[in-house]
Amino acid sequence: MIRILTALFLIASPILSCNFFPDWFVREPNRGEFLKIESLNHHIQELNMDRLRIDRNFYLRKSNFRKLFGFSLSGKNLSNWLNARIKYVKSGPTGKYIAYFHNGTVVLGKDFFSLSKIEQTLVLIHEARHADGKEFAHSKCPEGFPYLSVRSPQTMLENMEACDERDDGSYGFGAAFLFEVYAFGLYQTGEERLILGLYNSEVARIVNLESNRF
């Protein structure tokens, strides 16, 4: 699915589209990381909507995936969407962030590899949306921003470039994905509350309520 920089082929603490470190700090994923990326690739390709697990009318009212992505959720479609945006995957230091995107490359921090498959997929979707243009860069979270980061609750998000002023940015795409995961039960036993918490966290980062379709 996602290509690594050799012939190998192949995303809430805040995530940012930026180049934090010089190129010599990033590297090819090591063997263990590569195997986890391959396992994630397989997981994404196996994502398919089998049976709706929630009320249909509620689903139709709240689902935004097709509106934003342009297709219904399936492993093949999502893999193609990611591949069109993420050209290479590397590992390296990412500061306070799980990952960052720069010039077609996603750099994954060490904490990425300890996340669940759904969270890892969410990170890739988030970073891939940054590939669609500078207009999808983050804005600063407003003064008095009351919400905590799911993965790093002591991070002060106020005045940090970790929010979106539009609902079709990285956080909107992440929320749309997570709602499908919830609606079709595409999570492991015991993960339902995690999925709902992540969904609410993504929506909370969209700070322009007038344009927020969620």
pLDDT in tens, 72-88: 999 999 999 999 999 99
Instruction: Please check whether residue 15 lies inside any domain of the structure.
Output: no
Instruction: Please check whether residue 21 lies inside any domain of the structure.
Output: no
Which pLDDT score is estimated for 23?
Answer: 52
Size (the chain), residues: 214
> 139 - beta bridge partners?
163
Spatial neighbors of 14 by CB under 8 A, at least 6 apart, are: 96, 97, 149, 152, 155, 157, 160, 162
Q: Which residue in 135, 106, 102 sits closest to 121, CA to CA?
A: 106
Give the rounded percent of residues in the chain with a pLDDT score beyond 90.
74
φ/ψ of 206, rounded to 5, equals -90, 105
Q: Do the Cβ atoms of 177 and 125 come closer than 8 Å?
A: yes
Which pLDDT score is estimated for 18?
Answer: 44
Instruction: Please check whether residue 92 lies inside any domain of the structure.
Output: yes
Q: What integer is the mean pLDDT of 8-16?
A: 35
Least confident of 68-82, 146-160, 163-177, 185-199: 146-160
DSSP line for 125-167? HHHHHHTT-GGGS-EEBPTT--PPPSS-TTS--BTSEEEBSST
The helix/strand/coil state of 64 is coil
Q: Do the Cβ atoms of 202 and 174 come closer than 8 Å?
A: yes
Give the C-alpha distances (Å, rounded to integers) separating 96 from 12, 53, 60, 176. 11, 36, 36, 25
Which pLDDT score is estimated for 36?
Answer: 97
- Which pTM value belongs to this model? 0.86
Instruction: Please check whether residue 139 lies inside any domain of the structure.
Output: yes
Instruction: Kindly tell me if the per-residue pLDDT of 156 is higher than 80.
Output: yes
Instruction: Please check whether residue 183 lies inside any domain of the structure.
Output: yes
The span from the CA of 58 to the CA of 192, in Å, is: 17
Instruction: Please check whether residue 9 lies inside any domain of the structure.
Output: no
Instruction: Kindly tell me if the per-residue pLDDT of 2 is higher than 90.
Output: no
- Looking at per-residue confidence, does 16 or 93 come out higher? 93
Least confident of 16-25, 130-139, 163-172: 16-25
Which pLDDT score is estimated for 96?
Answer: 78
- Give 95's pLDDT tier (boundaries 50, 70, 90): confident
Instruction: Please check whether residue 11 lies inside any domain of the structure.
Output: no
Domain interval for residue 187: 31-205
Structure tokens at 178: 């997570």
pLDDT in tens, 168-177: 999 999 999 9
Instruction: Please check whether residue 23 lies inside any domain of the structure.
Output: no
- Give 127's pLDDT tier (boundaries 50, 70, 90): very high
CB atoms within 10 A of CB 59: 16
Angle between helices 117-130 and 75-83 (to 10 degrees): 40
Highest mean pLDDT among 12-16, 18-22, 42-46 belongs to: 42-46
The structural domain count of the chain equals 1
Amino acid symbol at 101: F
Which pLDDT score is estimated for 9?
Answer: 27
